[in-house]
Structure 1
Amino acid sequence: MTIANLLSQEIPALDQRSTVAEGILIMGDYHVRHLPVLINEEFRGLIDEDTLLDSDPSASIGSLMLPSAPRIFVQPQDHIYDAVRVFAQHQISLLPVMDDEELFAGVVTLENLIAAMAELGSFNDPGSIIVLEMGRHDYSLAEIARIVESEGAIILSSSLRSYQDSNRIEVTLKLNGRQIAAIMATFERFDYQVKASFNEAELQSALRERYDSLMNYLNV
């Protein structure tokens, strides 16, 4: 999935003639803390809410933009992981998009990015989650998939997290099945450390058993 799939032209950019008051109003209307600024139709960077709130409401946006302001942006052909990296690095609420000719094309909002990540990670699909921990040199997605598939399930998505100053990694698996006890047992049989598991069906069953036990106790 690329940035082109997330591109929005709904949120307007400010120009050098826009006022601080207008910028604050637009931020409030669209629930964002940043807006792109165009000077003579050229993208010059983002301006943030704190800067506007600390300025004269009648001041022009052009008077607040420094020539050295960083031009944070992505391009339509970039992968959405690039947007995740830029969002995290700069702590911004929207991300400008520039086309191949470096013309402003629109923005990616944080809400759209989260929705896309949920779709990409199969977060909306029913199933279960297993979290494994292992040495980096022990990681083999092919081997992990073989174990999962041997129990009649498939991996919908997977992600890795590295530990700082360690050769250990955490592998999170989203599986299509809700019955994962056998899969977890197989992982442990092959010396994988099962760090955590999340299973909606098993949780609901446990809550039902506890509820029934409470009702039986109250009826005694």
Structure 2
Amino acid sequence: MLAKELISEVVPSLKTSDTGLDALNWMEVFRVSHLPIVNNRSFLGLISDVDIFDLNKAEEALGNHSLSFTRPYVYAHQHIFDVIEVASRLKLTVVPVLDKNEEYLGLITQSDLLHTFADLVAAHNSGGVIELELLPNDYSLSEISRIVEDADAKVLSLYVSQPTGSEKLCIAIKLNRVDVRPVLNAFDRYDYSVKTTYVGDDSYDDTVKKNYDALMRYLNM
């Protein structure tokens, strides 16, 4: 998914001749806190509601306002992950998109970005989530996928993170089935450390998992 595919068709840009009051009105309509200032497809910068309130002269033209974010943007060919990084790092509610000649094409809203990312990670699909905890050298995507599939399940999405200060990776796996117990049992056989498991609003804690494993071992005796 590229940035150019996420551009909003409804949220407008501003001109330097627009007033701070104009900007605030549009921000309220579209529920954003930032809007780009564009003159003849030339992206001048991003103005926030805080910029306007700080100047305390909302009736003045935007050309008289200083910008807290000079020119944050992404290019049309950049991936959604790049858009998320910019939006997250700068805490933006919109991200401007430019072409290779650095001309303004449009913007991506935080709301559209969130909805698209939810589709990418299969957030709308029914299924459980298992989080594994392991050292980087022990991580193998092919092995994790094989274990899941051997337990008659499929990986809908998987993402890796490393908490600050931790030597271990956290592997979050979204499955295509709600009953994740066969997959938990399979990971246990291969000595994987399961950090936690979620099934909708329910959560299997470590005690439940241990009790289940004990029952399975008893039945297999």
Tell me whether the two structures share a fold, i.e. TM-score over 0.5: yes
Specify the code of the residue in structure 2 equivalent to 1:13.
S
Distance change (3 Å), C-alpha of 1:201 and 1:42: closer
Match of 1:45 in 2: 45
1:144-183: per-residue Cα shift (whole Å, max 9, x none)? 0110010111101001110223320100000111221121
Identity %: 31
Q: Distance in 2 between matches of 1:136 and 1:43?
A: 42
Find the residue that maps to 1:84 and give its secondary structure. helix
1:83-108: per-residue Cα shift (whole Å, max 9, x none)? 11001110011000111221111100
Q: Indicate if the aligned counterparts of 1:133 and 1:170 stay in contact, CA closer than 8 A.
A: yes
How far has the Cα of 1:200 moved from its partner?
3.6
Match of 1:217 in 2: none
How far has the Cα of 1:8 moved from its partner?
1.1
Q: Distance in 1 between matches of 2:201 and 2:89?
A: 37
Match of 2:103 in 1: 103
Q: Distance in 1 between matches of 2:34 and 2:170?
A: 34
Find the residue that maps to 1:14 and give its secondary structure. coil
Q: Distance in 2 between matches of 1:181 and 1:193?
A: 14
1:15-73: per-residue Cα shift (whole Å, max 9, x none)? 1111111111111111110010124642111001011123212211011146x952111
Match of 1:209 in 2: none
Equivalent runs, 1:49-60 vs 2, <5 Å: 49-54=49-54, 55-60=56-61
Distance change (3 Å), C-alpha of 1:87 and 1:39: same
Find the residue that maps to 1:105 and give its secondary structure. strand
Q: Distance in 1 between matches of 2:125 and 2:73?
A: 31
Specify the code of the residue in structure 2 equivalent to 1:172.
A
Match of 1:211 in 2: none
Alignment TM-score, normalising by the size of structure 2: 0.86
Match of 1:64 in 2: 65
How far has the Cα of 1:74 moved from its partner?
0.9
Is 2:136 the partner of 1:136?
yes
Q: Indicate if the aligned counterparts of 2:51 and 2:66 stay in contact, CA closer than 8 A.
A: no
Find the residue that maps to 2:43 and give its secondary structure. strand
Match of 1:174 in 2: 174
How far has the Cα of 1:202 moved from its partner?
7.1
Distance change (3 Å), C-alpha of 1:91 and 1:202: closer
Specify the code of the residue in structure 2 equivalent to 1:132.
L
Q: Indicate if the aligned counterparts of 1:24 and 1:53 stay in contact, CA closer than 8 A.
A: no
Match of 1:145 in 2: 145
Match of 2:190 in 1: 190
Match of 1:31 in 2: 31
Which ranges in structure 2 are unaligned for 5 or more consecutive residues?
204-221
Q: Distance in 1 between matches of 2:165 and 2:171?
A: 17
Find the residue that maps to 1:35 and give its secondary structure. strand
Q: Distance in 2 between matches of 1:154 and 1:201?
A: 21
Q: Distance in 2 between matches of 1:69 and 1:57?
A: 18
